[in-house]
Amino acid sequence: MKNIFNYSGATISDFENAIDQFGWVIYENALNEGLIAQIINDLEPAYLQRREIQTQNGIETNMEGTLHHLLECDNFSLNFLEQMFCDKEMRFFLGGNYILNGFSAVINMKNDRPYVQNIHRDLRSFTGNMKMMIQMIVLLDHFTEENGATYLLSGSHKEDVKPSEEYFYKYADRAITQKGSIILFDSNLWHAAGKNYTENARKVLTLSFTKPFFKPMFDFPRYLGYEFGESLSESLRQVVGYNARIPADLYEFYQPPHKRMYLSSQG
């Protein structure tokens, strides 16, 4: 297809044409084996922690294999973000600086029925040509038809109409590709995780990025700590959201421009 590229050789022109026509792009050979192994090693304890909280709060149904808000000080997440995967593509799509909106993972296991297998889009409001959010799926295992490769309805990012199940599964493409690939797609695109019919778990990271003024799913700077942010590189401070915070009192509000919670560079 005209929307599958090698990560090291793709151009912005390739991205622009594919994201406009199809609404999604695959970049193969993006992650190396060492980073993939680090991520997988951290997912098991992270899942156990989140699953316990889901169960305690009575929301475990249809949440199997889902891990939300993985950005933490002592796991793989900062190392991953420091790589700035697809930075030029996301800057092009969002028109400049962007921030992290959500950082999650899905461990798709046989017989599970998590909500991500429902036909959905990741923006509840259709934004059309106003690009507000872009999604990233990071493959930690090969994607096959048998293990639940994601369904993506090409072109559906241009229409504010949810397709019927019959139409969706008849015409949607499958993201059949290899471990270490990255899928980028317009958040207006209708999609769904597939069912895993194999005995092996199929693991991915799922991230979303937005224009800086868009409210994130989680207050990452407050969670990590404002002082911790001082130790981060400029690129990480930007992506994690330290340059797009909301003042909580008058002292935080009345600051010189370079010390303000929401910097002028954020648009």
pLDDT in tens, 31-48: 999 999 999 999 999 999
Residues 6+ apart with CB under 8 A from 186: 19, 23, 24, 93, 131, 134, 135, 157
Share of the chain above pLDDT 90, in %: 92
Tens digits of residue pLDDT in 159-186 = 999 999 999 999 999 999 999 999 999 9
The whole-number pLDDT of residue 156 equals 97
Check residue 28 and give its pLDDT: 97
Mean pLDDT along residues 151-163: 96
pLDDT at 236: 96
**216-236 mean pLDDT:** 95
Least confident of 126-130, 140-144, 236-240: 126-130
Mean pLDDT of 143-154: 96
pLDDT in tens, 80-91: 999 999 999 999
Q: What is the pLDDT of residue 116?
A: 86
Q: What is the pLDDT of residue 175?
A: 96
Please compute the mean of the pLDDT values over residues 95-113 and round it to a whole number.
93
Report the pLDDT value the prediction gives residue 267, as an integer from 0 to 100: 77
Region 173-202: mean pLDDT is 96
For the chain, strand residue ranges (E) read 4-6, 24-28, 66-67, 99-108, 133-139, 151-152, 173-174, 182-186, 191-192, 202-210
From CA 55, how far away is CA 128, in angstroms rounded? 37
The C-alpha atoms of residue 183 and residue 134 are separated, in whole angstroms, by 10
In which band, very low, low, confident or very high, does the pLDDT at 112 lie, cut at 50, 70 and 90? confident
Does pLDDT of 93 surpass 80?
A: yes
Q: What is the pLDDT of residue 215?
A: 94
Q: Is 30:84 a contact under the CB 8 Å cutoff?
A: no
Q: Does the pLDDT at position 246 exceed 90?
A: yes
Confidence of residue 114 (pLDDT cuts 50, 70, 90): confident
- The predicted model gives 242-256 an average pLDDT of 93
Can you give the pLDDT at residue 52? 94
Is it the case that residue 1 has pLDDT exceeding 80?
A: no
> What pLDDT band is residue 134 in, cutting at 50, 70 and 90?
very high
| Residue 51 pLDDT | 94
Burial of 30 (0-12, 13-18, 19+ CB in 10 A): buried
Domains defined along the chain, listed by start: 4-259 (2.60.120.620)
What mean pLDDT comes out for the span 97-117?
92
